Amino acid sequence: MLKTSDVAREAGVSRATVSYVLNDRRDVRVSEATRRHVIDVAQRLGYSGSPAARALRTGRGDVVLLLLPAWEVAGQGELFLHQLGNLVAQHGLVGLRYEGPHWQGALTRLLARIPAACVVTFDPLNSQDAHALHTAGIPEVAFWQLDHPGQPHTTSITQEGIVETQIDHLLDRGYQRLAYVALEESRGGSFPETRVASFHVICQARGIPDPVSAIVTNDVASVTRTLQSWTTAQSQPLGLAAWNDLTALAITSAAASCGLQVPRDLGVIGGDDAPMAALANPSISSVRFNLTAEAEAIAARVATKLGYQTDLEPSTAAPMTLVPRQSTARSN
């Protein structure tokens, strides 16, 4: 393994100078030319140093640990994590995504292996893991999208807000009968159930009669059967809010099997505004999430927790934006 002494010998400087440069010590006088030279030599030799040793020297690691539960992370979620990683990198930090249920209850062992400067949680930690984080003295930044008893969500994008945007759009397009559909996802967590519950609460508040909902298996046949049960002997058009754009695409595909025309007989709106929504035939109305603002908010909180200066300001843009397309283009 390469050592600082190898870099010093190749660069023709002292080991102390190499240490000052590679640890970005600005309290010690080293010319910019020497700093650049040492960095170039270290890169050419492939020297990376030891994260554990660096953490011991500085008193803090340089990893922002993203503790993801066992969710399905794809599409816009991937973009959010990518943006967050880029933003924390501006402070010389490394965003490390760690997902799945296997870390839960064993956070002590994970923190012993990873030089974490900060931990971003996407669900509240259990008492054992919360104690481990507190004992380690590592700050937590919460990015909670769901409400938990005594621990409400911390995001500007809410599950209720997503469903409310869908419902209001369907009503505005003249659909008086409303339904909600989600596909079963083994890694979907409690999100589908939360949105279904929100759908019924909002429909009741809007005075919408007899709203229906279903969480169906992930196949077109199951979606087809559900649509048939809701539209048989019904002449009034049905406005349907979908869990996401993939679900909306399954619904528009199944509609033909039921003899339904979109948007005349069936209006469909999804969520996420995935690329497939604009490419589908008919194109699918959706709800776009301002994940850039969410990523900036989390990065700013990380920077503040760690004492870094940041130029990121709270966003004044709407957390969600309606994107109307052909699937709900029916006139009132």
Identify the three-state secondary structure at position 243: coil
The more confidently predicted of residues 147 and 253 is 253
Residue 134 reports pLDDT greater than 60? yes
Residue 106 reports pLDDT greater than 70? yes
8 A C-beta contact, residue 324 and residue 167:
no
Residue 233 reports pLDDT greater than 90? no
Cα of 170 vs its chain's centroid, Å: 26
Residue 121 reports pLDDT greater than 50? yes
The more confidently predicted of residues 136 and 281 is 281
Tell me the domain boundaries of the chain. 4-49, 60-154, 159-289+320-328
Return the structure tokens found at 198.
Answer: 């929100």
Q: What is the pLDDT of residue 210?
A: 92
Region 105-116 average pLDDT: 82
Per-residue confidence at 242, pLDDT binned at 50, 70, 90?
A: very high
d(CA 182, CA 245): 10
**Phi, psi dihedrals of residue 38, rounded to the nearest 5°:** -65, -45
Assign domain 159-289+320-328 to a CATH class. Answer: alpha beta
DSSP string, 104-150: TT-HHHHHHHS-EEEEEESSPPPHHHHHHHHHHT--EEE---S-BTT
Mean pLDDT of the chain: 85
The more confidently predicted of residues 9 and 23 is 9
Confirm or reject CATH 1.10.4160.10 for domain 4-49, answering yes or no.
no
Q: Using one digit for the tens of pLDDT, what is the confidence trace for 209-222?
A: 999 999 998 888 99
Per-residue confidence at 52, pLDDT binned at 50, 70, 90?
A: very low
The more confidently predicted of residues 233 and 253 is 253
8 A C-beta contact, residue 67 and residue 119:
yes
8 A C-beta contact, residue 2 and residue 45:
yes
| Close Cβ partners of 234 (under 8 Å, ≥ 6 residues apart) | 177
d(CA 80, CA 120): 13
CA distances in angstroms from 124 to 103, 180, 285, listed in the order given: 13, 28, 33
Q: What is the pLDDT of residue 188?
A: 58
Q: What is the pLDDT of residue 55?
A: 47
Per-residue confidence at 24, pLDDT binned at 50, 70, 90?
A: low
| Close Cβ partners of 259 (under 8 Å, ≥ 6 residues apart) | none
Q: Can 4-49 and 60-154 be said to share one CATH topology? A: no
What would be the CATH architecture of the domain defined by 60-154? 3-Layer(aba) Sandwich (3.40)
Q: What is the pLDDT of residue 21?
A: 80
Give me the percent of the chain exceeding a pLDDT of 70.
88
Q: Using one digit for the tens of pLDDT, what is the confidence trace for 265-321?
A: 999 999 989 999 999 999 999 999 998 899 989 999 998 888 887 777 777 788 999
Region 224-252 average pLDDT: 90
